[in-house]
Structures are given as structure tokens and as C-alpha cells.
Amino acid sequence: MTYAMYSWALVLDDDPFVQKTLSRMLLKLDVRDVVTCGNAELALATIIDSGNSPDLVLFDLNMPEMDGIEFVRGLVERQYSGGLIIISGEDERVLNAAAILAREHRLTLLGQLVKPVSSSTLRKLLEKWVPKSVEEHQPISRIYSPQELQQAIQTGELVNFYQPIVAVSSGQCVGVETLVRWRHPRDGLVMPNNFIGVAEEHGLIDELTHAVLRGVFTQIAEWERSLIHLRVAINVSMINLVSLSFPDIVAHLAKDAGVAPRRIKLEVTETQLLEDLRAPLDVLVRLRLKGFRLSIDDFGTGHSSLAQLRDIPFDQIKIDRGFVHRAWADNTVRAIYDASLNLSRQLGFEAVAEGVEDRADWDFVRKTGCDLAQGYFISRPMPGEQLAQWLSAWESGVRQELMTSTKGA
Ligand code: C2E
Ligand code: MG
Ligand code: MG
């Protein structure tokens, strides 16, 4: 295996010994050229700003002048798009915090190297380098105007994607989650985190959610014609739930489409703090009375709270992917996952593990007996018309393969 795709790497560490060891290892692993530097400010000013930015940056978290966190911020400002590896002697939690920061900024973090660094760990990290997929590729922090978004909603540029949700015990696909995307004429497929906030802040979220709902019911009717009967989850904003007519709107759409309310699950995250919970509570209870199911999304992140669990008649908890992916490898993450799952069981809810990204995550959720799982390992979100094909591939092989027991367990 060769890593010539890294034509050059920058090692940023104030310790000359680490600089030397890492350069030697990188060159041995076929990285074409390595530059070392002991000062983050200098690295940003002379190297990254030179217009010939490195393909890979390995940097120390703890440096005397500008520290690693400030350096990450500098990279974000410069829209650095190469790979990143954090080197550190710090404890695991500090490393994790830095890793989360880098990922939140959509930097391509390949992983962490704990000192003393080993060549085999470094090689494994380099192997993880994959070019960003179309789905993940985003123009960095583009801000859309409310006018532009409103026009997009009205002209039908928003489209629904659907991500399968499977039963952990049998592997059977039991439902899908609806995830909205914007097919932007210039920017390509734009992800919801880039425009849901705009819709919420500028009074467009009701219009957006209605467009999503209409799309869902049309899609369900099409699936029914192909004999696909699934439960469908839809994300709703807290702001939608202030409008007292919301339950009637959803109920009418469901009735017109001939879809039983119990097949529809509304996922709620507390995205904006509402001072007055009376209206949302009223709406949620009425939705529940009409037979719709309610799910609390991103559980564990603080967007969703224990108080909501007490106050709102939920049926399901979705454990946020931050507490699922790699929970098997990290005691802190694992503790939060276990606590969420236990809470869900004690309250008689169904639990969904979000963000099952690889085989190890899948084996972990199976072992812990979570009810449902969702994540890239099972499938990425896809347009509705691709679901039939995915289902038949899943049923004709993948599912059996995933239900075989863990290697070595
Ligand atoms: P969410 O409801 O928690 O949805 C799950 C998000 O995680 C989706 O991102 C999905 O593509 C992504 N995901 C699924 N599996 C994996 C995995 O294995 N690894 C990783 N790293 N990510 C995974 P997406 O589609 O970008 O949506 C982001 C958020 O936008 C959603 O989070 C939801 O809160 C919001 N959203 C999406 N559609 C709508 C909508 O129609 N209305 C409203 N109000 N919010 C929406
Ligand atoms: Mg959701
Ligand atoms: Mg979620």
C-alpha cells in the first residue's frame, strides 16, 4: 500500500524528537515529502497561507505558544481541506474534545496518535483516508438567505431522502427516517443543517415541514404500490409545535393518503429553547391522541432533556450517534449509551441507536440489546425510489451476513 496521495505532510510539534521520529515514519510509509515546524502560528502564516497547503497535517495539541485548539480554528478559517491527525500525550478526554471540535468544523480528522507514537498506528490512520463522498461534500459554511430558501420550498427544490432503520434482533428493516435535502441548482445537494436554522429563524419552518410531509405521504403511496409497508419517521421542529393546527394538518394528510397514524413517527429535538412549553405540549399530546408516535431525537446531547421525557408522552428514544459510534472503545461514551438504554427500558420506550457506522458499532448494539439501529453501516439516506432496490439487496444477502455472530466473540 502506498500513500503517495499525500504528496506532502506537515508535522507540527514543539518537540524536535517527535518531529524527527514522525518524519522518518511518514517517509518510510511512502509519503513523498515531510516538512516539520515547532510553532503553530508560524505554520499557519508561512505554510498553510503559502497557497501550497499540505495534504496531511499532524499536530500536537499541547504547544507553548498557539495551542492545538487555536490551530484548528486557524485551519477552519483558512478552509483547510486535507487530512488531520492529532498527536498528544494528553489524557483521552482532552483528545476526544479536540477530535469533536475538528469534526464539528467538518475537517477530515483521520484520528489520534498517543505519544509515544507507533508506526503501525500511524499506518492504520493513513489507510483511513478516503476522498469525501458526494453526500458528505459540502460547500463550507455557505449561508442561505430566507428569500432563496422560500423560493426553493415553493419551486420544489427540497427533496426527501430516506434512511433505513432495522430491528437489531432480526435485521429486518422496519422503517425509514425522512431527511430533507435541498437540490440546489448551483451548490448541489445541500444538507439540512445548512438551512433548517434559517427556516426556523425566518418563519419558514411551517412551510418547509408541510412540504416534507406532503412528500412523505406521496412517497408512502408509491411504496404501497410496490408492496413496501414501512413505518416512516419525520423530523419536526419545536416551532412547528407552537401552531395549534399542526395535529389536524398532519391528520388530514394521513387520512387523505390512507395511512394509519401509528405508522408515522414524529421526531422532536429541542433546537431552540422555548420559554413557553404549553403550546408544544398541547400539540404533542393531541398528536399522540390521534395515534401518531413520538420520538425524542439526539438523546443525550442536551438538545433533548430528561424534563422532556417526564413531560411528553414519547414512545421512542433515539440515542445520539455521539454515544453510539465507537461506544465500545470509550468508557465515557459507553456509560452514557448504557444510561440512555437503561432509561429507555425502564420507561418502556423503544430505543434506537443512531450512527452505527461500522461492523464494530453494529456488533456492539447487538450485544447490548438495543431495539433498533440506523447508520451508514446499514445504509446511507437515499431517494425514495431507490429503497425497493436497497431492500431486495438487503434481504437477499446483506442481512444474513450481518446476523452471523461476531468474529472472535
Ligand atoms: P437527525 O434527525 O438526528 O438525523 C440523523 C442525521 O445523521 C442525518 O443527517 C443522517 O444523514 C446522519 N447519519 C445517519 N447515519 C449516520 C452515521 O452512521 N454516521 C454519521 N456520521 N451520520 C449519520 P442529516 O440528514 O444531515 O440531518 C441532520 C439533521 O437535520 C437531522 O438530524 C435533523 O435534526 C435535521 N433534519 C433533517 N430533516 C429535517 C426535516 O425535514 N425537518 C426538520 N425540522 N429537521 C430536519
Ligand atoms: Mg431525526
Ligand atoms: Mg438524531
Over the stretch 168-221, which tens digit does the pLDDT of each residue have? Answer: 999 999 999 999 999 999 888 999 999 999 999 999 999 999 999 999 999 999
- The residue written with cell numbers 433505513 in the block is 164
Res. 1 pLDDT band, cuts 50 70 90: very low
The larger pLDDT score, comparing residue 46 to residue 170, is at: 170
The pLDDT of residue 100 is: 80
Q: Sign of dihedral through CA atoms 375, 381, 384, 385?
A: negative
Is the pTM higher than 0.85? no
Res. 405 pLDDT band, cuts 50 70 90: low
For ion ligand 2, residues whose CB falls within 5 Å: 235, 267, 297
- In this structure, what C-alpha cell is assigned to residue 60? 500536537
Distance CA(17)–CA(22), nearest Å, equals 9
Cβ(216) – ligand 1 distance below 6 Å: no
Quote the ligand 1 centre to 266 CA distance (angstroms).
14
Q: Highest mean pLDDT: which of 16-20, 24-28, 160-164? A: 160-164
The pLDDT of residue 274 is: 63
Cβ(320) – ligand 1 distance below 6 Å: no
Instruction: Report the percent of the chain where pLDDT is more than 90.
Output: 60
For the CA atoms of the chain, what is the radius of gyration?
A: 23
Cβ(269) – ligand 1 distance below 6 Å: yes
Distance CA(215)–CA(183), nearest Å, equals 14
**What's the start-to-end Cα distance of the chain, in Å?**
29
Distance CA(25)–CA(35), nearest Å, equals 13
Res. 357 pLDDT band, cuts 50 70 90: very high
Query: Worst-scoring range by mean pLDDT, 124-128, 226-230, 370-374?
Result: 124-128
Atom number of ligand 1 nearest to Cα 376: 18
The pLDDT of residue 137 is: 46
What is the arithmetic mean of pLDDT over 23-45?
Answer: 90
The pLDDT of residue 104 is: 78
Indicate if the pLDDT at residue 373 is higher than 80.
Answer: yes
The pLDDT of residue 300 is: 83
What is the arithmetic mean of pLDDT over 222-251?
Answer: 95
Helix runs in 304-386, H state only: 306-311, 331-346, 359-368
The pLDDT of residue 21 is: 94
Cβ(176) – ligand 1 distance below 6 Å: no
The pLDDT of residue 181 is: 97
The pLDDT of residue 158 is: 97
Res. 271 pLDDT band, cuts 50 70 90: low
The pLDDT of residue 351 is: 98
Indicate if the pLDDT at residue 233 is higher than 70.
Answer: yes
Quote the ligand 3 centre to 268 CA distance (angstroms).
9
pLDDT in tens, 68-77: 888 888 888 8
Cβ(235) – ligand 1 distance below 6 Å: yes
For ion ligand 3, residues whose CB falls within 5 Å: 297-298, 354
The pLDDT of residue 131 is: 45
- In this structure, what C-alpha cell is assigned to residue 268? 422532536
Distance CA(327)–CA(101), nearest Å, equals 18
The pLDDT of residue 406 is: 56
The pLDDT of residue 129 is: 67
pLDDT in tens, 70-118: 888 888 888 888 889 998 877 777 777 788 888 778 788 888 888 888 8
Indicate if the pLDDT at residue 141 is higher than 70.
Answer: no
Q: Which of 263, 370, 266 is nearest to 319 (CA)?
A: 370
Q: Which of 223, 236, 139 is nearest to 189 (CA)?
A: 139
pLDDT in tens, 317-337: 999 999 999 999 999 999 999
Q: Which of 122, 129, 132 is nearest to 6 (CA)?
A: 129
The pLDDT of residue 408 is: 41
Q: Are 261 and 251 in contact (CB under 8 A)?
A: yes
Indicate if the pLDDT at residue 375 is higher than 50.
Answer: yes
